[in-house]
Amino acid sequence: MSSYAKAGNERPGLRACGLARADLLWQGEEIREFHFVCALLEHFSKAMSQAGPSQFQEVIRQELEYSMKVELDKILATAPSNELEHTKKDLEGFKKLFHRFLQEKGPSVDWGKIQRPPEDSIQPYEKIKARGLPDNIASVLNKLVVVKLNGGLGTSMGCKGPKSLIGVRNENTFLDLTVQQIEHLNKTYNTDVPLVLMNSFNTDEDTKKILQKYSHSRVKIYTFNQSSFYNSGLLDNLIAEGKEYIFVSNIDNLGATVDLYILNHLMNPPNGKRCEFVMEVTNKTRADVKVQDYLRRFESIPDMLELDHLTVSGDVTFGKNVSLKGTVIIIANHGDRIDIPAGAVLENKIVSGNLRILDH
């Protein structure tokens, strides 16, 4: 792909299509791509002159979908023959998601409609524990699947490869300790709780290589790639085995273990109403109170889907429907205040000084 450089570094003779200020640095094998880009820009230019903005956007959408199809076909061509059909289903699913992303407009979630949960929906753990445990703990556990999110790399910890393979205690890795925890559960209650690892493309290959070491443990281990759970067929297999519930946590959260009291509360709610989801929460601390003070500075949660980095310092407030993209730095000097107006779009911007919006 093309890389960018500062003005004056272009090779002579390669400026064309009116891109005299494009500042593109080309390599020999990219000449063909350069001509393609020129043709594409010329095509867009004609489309813009002959059609309105909405039609122009449709042309861009079609070109993006075509480019994505070409790239996905290249990826499919590299798949091993024994994984060809599985990979094809995954890529078809991604293609549909990409099409949906291009078609839909506006934020995916209307944060203004998000409300607090009802007060009675939060039950103290002591109250849940006081109910005790059923006599048939094994039958309850046999309906459970433990899912660990295993898509992260260990780069933030200064390591290479999947985070789950980092040694954390007595040379045991996150994955080792997770398997040991579930194995202890299965041996204690004579059950068959499986472990499912949700991998990413970054962690899948290395994780599969290491799973051989657990072949003699009393834990069935399954894997699937992100967004391909349904296509993997694993869901149908687990349901056929009588599995009804999953416990989900990050692979590096060793404190997130199966709690029998919470599991019983989920499967046998006291009010008889079926509960589809349970999440463990804790009381606020002083730090959380500070966070609440900070949140008051937002009339609504900004759209940060395309945000890479955000720095906010000083007395800064945000209006409704603010969109932040790329790198955004907002610094209000001491004694000054910055009000980001409603509907503002900040992309790769530095805002400093004083900006007040007064009611009248």
pTM of the shown model: 0.59
Judge contact between 194 and 222, C-beta under 8 A. yes
**Structural domains in the chain?**
3-103 (no CATH), 121-267 (3.90.550.10), 286-353 (2.160.10.10)
Map tokens 């759970």 to a residue.
229
CA distance readout (Å), 197 to 37, 147, 175:
41, 6, 10
Phi, psi of 161 (to 5 degrees): 85, -175
Angle (deg, nearest 10), helices 84-103 and 53-77: 170
**Is the dihedral angle over the CA atoms 6, 7, 9, 10 positive or is it negative?**
positive
Contacts of residue 182, defined as CB under 8 A and 6 or more positions apart, other chains included, come to: 146, 193, 195, 219, 258
Contacts of residue 238, defined as CB under 8 A and 6 or more positions apart, other chains included, come to: 145, 194, 196
Q: What is the pLDDT along the chain (360 residues), one digit of tens a residue?
A: 333 333 333 333 333 333 333 333 434 444 555 555 555 555 555 655 555 567 767 778 888 888 888 888 888 888 888 878 878 888 888 888 888 888 877 666 676 777 877 777 888 899 999 999 988 899 999 999 999 999 888 876 677 888 899 888 888 999 999 999 999 999 999 999 999 999 988 898 899 999 999 999 999 999 998 877 777 889 999 999 999 999 999 998 888 899 999 999 988 888 777 788 888 888 777 666 565 676 778 888 888 888 888 888 888 999 988 999 888 888 888 788 899 999 999 998 888 877 765 554
* Residue-level pLDDT at 194: 96
Element at 185 (helix H, strand E): helix 174-189
What 8-state DSSP symbol labels residue 153? B
Q: What is the C-alpha R_g of the chain?
A: 27
Contacts of residue 224, defined as CB under 8 A and 6 or more positions apart, other chains included, come to: 196, 197, 198, 199, 232, 234
